[in-house]
Amino acid sequence: MTTATEITDTTVREVTEWLFTEAELLDGGKYREWLDLVAEDLSYVVPLRVTREREAETDIVEGMTLMDDDWDSMEMRVLRLETEYAWAEDPPSRSRHFVTNIRVAAGGSADELTVKSNLLLYRTRGDVATFDILSGERHDVLRRVASGYRLAKRVVVLDQTTVMTHNLALIM
Amino acid sequence: MLRDELRQILEKGLRDVEADWTVPAGIINDPEMHDAERERVFGRSWVFLAHDSEIPERGDYVVRYISEDQFIVCRDEDGEIRGHLNSCRHRGMQVCRAEMGNASHFRCPYHGWTYNNKGSLVGVPAGREAYGNKLDKSLWQLKPVPKLDTYKGLIFGCLDPEAQSLEDYLGDMKFYLDIVLDRSDAGLEVIGAPQRWVVDANWKLGADNFIGDAYHTMMTHRSMVELGLAPPDPKFALYGEHVHTENGHGLGIIGPPPGIPLPEFLGMPENIVEQLQRRLSPEQVEVFRPVAFIHGTVFPNLSIGNFLMSKDHVSPPTSFLTLRLWHPLGPDKMEIMSFFLVEKEAPDWYKEESYQAYVRTFGISGAFEQDDAENWRSITRVLGAQYAKTMELNYQMGRGLYEPDPDWPGPGKAFPMDYAEANQRNFMEYWMQLMVTDPVPHTGNGKVSDGTAAEALARAEA
């Protein structure tokens, strides 16, 4: 057993802090700073789910997703938000990432951790008295680098098959 | 019956759309309009249900909707495509509660009545004790979609048993549908399943946007113009054609601006280009050759987007094909079902690039799609109010500027640019014609009108 796969209290605290900092950046609209926390080989996927019978092995659809981004397309999203014409988020949504049930485990390599967390994302726009909520589970791979951690992989499995918000313009 | 006040709005709207090229704002978000629309528009139009590649094997099914009615669209044990109302004949319970799957039978979880995938009632628990074997099961099959038919892989249903045939309903639109649906030998396949999401917007705004609105690109999608994913030339829609046909259908077909070196035939892979040149007519090939964007709507709520676009700001463009269903959930709410399709015989690299370009631009998270939903929900909210409903909306683009194009090789009424709103007017006019025409149950050929507003008004007043 190597020390790298040992999950210490310190590791859990660091990961928790990282997730909370990330949530703060996203809810504060600091996407450029968020991008600095992302690895250049990023894979960011929101699978498509359908309602299936219990006997079906999975309700996750093969071949189609709700989001499937890499670093380039994520940078495109950020560049888009930096123009004056990203109407879907201008005026911006008010959002709140609630991140709970954080579970940290050893990753596929010595410098990586796999992190599961629950996400409740609240979103409201404009002066209407309504809001949207997305609930799901995040499966992350965090990579240890000299300055901290980088998000190398994220899979967000949403709990709804028919998504109850008018677009996925927010980063989950 | 249509309440007098609604009839007056619609009859004035029909006169105005022809005389003034305006459309009453009150048709967008109004509960009574919506109720009437369910019966008068969705009750007698052919509505897209599924693509046959979604149910390739015997027993495969998906659950889909016409207005609020829910249907199991399946391939039965003989390979035939069928549509059954998803409602048990005993108490109306759903007999299928998954969205998709494979089943030889559908069993009601309430009392156990069981139907095969042909819709026949084949099992009634305790039939002897409860019904004394007197229940004639042949009278209690699942209710079928009154009319079900397919066109080039698209499965449509219609609630009006007297409606004209699907072929006649699609009419001249078939020439253009073939360019999209019938350009390869093995045809198209839906990849995965449709993305589904709910938008607080009226469904007609999606249909209106896709049928003719090239004009919004430079403003709504300006962020993507700045990133180089949409044409920077504000006149780009000049290099296109704006075409509509009978029954409210229409599309826009846009090529690259002069000097922009985009590939022919949407940059489709070589093997597909070879096939389409063989399969399509010379006129269809001529129409398709310079194309970079095709956007259209099959009345009422099926839209097509076949676009050449990049998957990000650093990659070259790839074409992708999306079908989308604007499924009404109320006057101010719709569910969007967005399908991604690709030629079965396209090479894997193209399928992958095409999928990524779709998801990142026109899927639910897509950088283009996001901004459209923002507009439609905002419009819907505003037009739900009392004073706003009295507005006339301006549908006058191109008025007095150009005549139908006599040189266009395809059918329908074509205008030699895509900065026009003839398609949108044609859509809204046909919608209003349906709305003022009282349903005549089970008589005639069910063909409402492909004529003028004046004819529809004369019928309405008769």
ipTM: 0.95
Contacts 24+ apart (CB under 8 A), B70-77: B70/B94, B71/B145, B71/B157, B72/B96, B72/B106, B72/B142, B73/B49, B73/B155, B73/B157, B74/B103, B74/B117, B75/B117, B76/B116, B76/B117, B76/B118, B77/B104, B77/B116, B77/B117, B77/B118
The whole-angstrom separation of Cα B249 and Cα B120 is 36
Instruction: Give me B206's structure tokens.
Output: 């999606």
Contact B100 A50 (CB under 8 A): yes
Q: Say what the pTM is.
A: 0.94
Instruction: Give me B260's structure tokens.
Output: 């922009």
Helix (H, G, I), strand (E, B) or coil at A27: helix
Q: Which pLDDT value is given to residue B448? A: 44
Q: Which pLDDT value is given to residue B63? A: 98
Residue in chain B closest to A79 (alpha carbons) equals B227
B201 and B135 in a common domain: no
The whole-angstrom separation of Cα A55 and Cα B337 is 25
B136 and B175 in a common domain: no
CB atoms within 10 A of CB A122: 15
- Alpha carbon separation from B447 to B179, B405, B428 (Å, rounded): 26, 28, 17
Q: What is the dihedral of CA B160, B166, B170, B175, to 10 degrees?
A: 180
Q: Find the length of chain B.
A: 462
- Interface probe with B: pick from A45, A60, A73, most Cβ of B within 10 Å: A73
The whole-angstrom separation of Cα B182 and Cα B176 is 10
B408 and B361 in a common domain: yes
Contact A72 B312 (CB under 8 A): yes
DSSP state of A159: S
Among all chains, which residue has been given the structure tokens 């209290």? A9
Q: Which pLDDT value is given to residue B54? A: 98
Residue A67 pLDDT greater than 80, yes or no: yes
- Closest C-alpha among B255, B354, B252, B358 to residue B303: B252
Q: Which pLDDT value is given to residue B286? A: 96
The whole-angstrom separation of Cα A21 and Cα A28 is 10
The residue range of the domain holding B81 is 47-151
Instruction: Give me B329's structure tokens.
Output: 């959930």
Q: Which helix (H) or strand (E) holds B370?
A: helix B369-382
Number of folded domains that form chain B = 2
Instruction: Give me A58's structure tokens.
Output: 């999975």
B186 and B144 in a common domain: no
B371 and B339 in a common domain: yes
Q: Which pLDDT value is given to residue B2? A: 86
DSSP state of B246: G
Q: What is the CATH number of the domain that holds B237?
A: 3.90.380.10
Q: Which pLDDT value is given to residue B458? A: 72
Contacts of A85 in chain B (CB under 8 A): 219, 222-223, 226
Contacts of A87 in chain B (CB under 8 A): 220, 223, 371, 374-375
Contact B223 A83 (CB under 8 A): yes
B250 and B326 in a common domain: yes
User: What's the gap in Å between the CA of A133 and the closest CA on chain B?
Assistant: 12
Contact B198 A164 (CB under 8 A): yes
The CATH architecture one would assign to domain A9-158 is Roll (3.10)
B176 and B145 in a common domain: no
User: Is residue B73 a contact partner of residue B85, using CB atoms and an 8 Å limit?
Assistant: no
Q: Which helix (H) or strand (E) holds B116?
A: strand B114-116
Asked whether residue B235 is assigned to any structural domain, the reply reads yes
Q: Which helix (H) or strand (E) holds B211?
A: helix B203-212
The whole-angstrom separation of Cα B374 and Cα B83 is 34
Asked whether residue B146 is assigned to any structural domain, the reply reads yes
- Closest C-alpha among A112, A84, A96, A110 to residue A27: A96
Residues 6+ apart with CB under 8 A from B159: B42, B43, B44, B66, B67, B69, B145, B146, B147
User: Is residue B194 a contact partner of residue B338, using CB atoms and an 8 Å limit?
Assistant: yes
The whole-angstrom separation of Cα A97 and Cα A124 is 12
Find the mean pLDDT for residues A28-51.
97
CB atoms within 10 A of CB B278: 10
In terms of phi and psi (left: phi > 0; alpha: psi -120 to 50; beta: otherwise), the region of A51 is beta
User: Is residue A99 a contact partner of residue A20, using CB atoms and an 8 Å limit?
Assistant: yes
Q: Which helix (H) or strand (E) holds B25?
A: none
Asked whether residue B415 is assigned to any structural domain, the reply reads yes
The whole-angstrom separation of Cα B362 and Cα B378 is 19
CB atoms within 10 A of CB B153: 17
The whole-angstrom separation of Cα B365 and Cα A46 is 10
Q: Which pLDDT value is given to residue B449? A: 44
Contact B197 A162 (CB under 8 A): yes
B231 and B141 in a common domain: no
Residue A8 pLDDT greater than 50, yes or no: yes
Asked whether residue B25 is assigned to any structural domain, the reply reads no
Q: Find the length of chain A.
A: 172
Q: Among A16-20, A142-146, B228-232, B454-458, name the one with the lowest average pLDDT.
A: B454-458
Q: Which pLDDT value is given to residue B441? A: 59
pLDDT tens figures, A84-122: 999 999 999 999 999 999 999 999 999 999 999 999 999
Contact B371 A87 (CB under 8 A): yes
Q: What is the dihedral of CA A108, A112, A113, A119, to 10 degrees?
A: -110
Contacts of A80 in chain B (CB under 8 A): 223-224, 227, 367
| Residues of chain B where predicted confidence (pLDDT) is lower than 50 | 443-451
B188 and B89 in a common domain: no
Asked whether residue B452 is assigned to any structural domain, the reply reads no
Q: At what angle do helices B203-212 and B369-382 cross, to 10 degrees?
A: 130
Instruction: Give me B445's structure tokens.
Output: 């050929």
DSSP H helices in B268-328: 270-279, 282-288
Asked whether residue B83 is assigned to any structural domain, the reply reads yes
The whole-angstrom separation of Cα A117 and Cα A138 is 5
Residue A171 CA from chain centroid, whole number: 6
User: Is residue B318 a contact partner of residue B311, using CB atoms and an 8 Å limit?
Assistant: yes
User: What's the gap in Å between the CA of A47 and the closest CA on chain B?
Assistant: 10
DSSP state of B41: T
Instruction: Give me B446's structure tokens.
Output: 């069910």
- Nearest-CB residue to A167 (from B101, B192, B373): B373
Find the mean pLDDT for residues A39-64.
96
CB atoms within 10 A of CB A129: 6
A3 band by pLDDT with thresholds 50, 70 and 90: very low
Residue where a domain terminates, one of B122, B151, B180? B151
Asked whether residue B158 is assigned to any structural domain, the reply reads no
B179 and B215 in a common domain: yes
- Alpha carbon separation from B207 to B91, B267, B272 (Å, rounded): 36, 26, 29
- Closest C-alpha among B112, B73, B69, B72 to residue B90: B112
pLDDT tens figures, B394-416: 999 999 999 999 999 999 999 99
Chain B, window 175-204: residues with a beta carbon less than 8 angstroms from a chain A beta carbon:
191-193, 195-201
Q: What is the CATH number of the domain that holds B79?
A: 2.102.10.10
User: What's the gap in Å between the CA of A120 and the closest CA on chain B?
Assistant: 18
B221 and B108 in a common domain: no
Instruction: Give me B177's structure tokens.
Output: 């549908």
The whole-angstrom separation of Cα B430 and Cα B206 is 16
Contact A50 B99 (CB under 8 A): yes
Residues 6+ apart with CB under 8 A from B67: B38, B42, B43, B47, B159, B328
CB atoms within 10 A of CB A9: 7
B107 and B61 in a common domain: yes
Asked whether residue B35 is assigned to any structural domain, the reply reads no
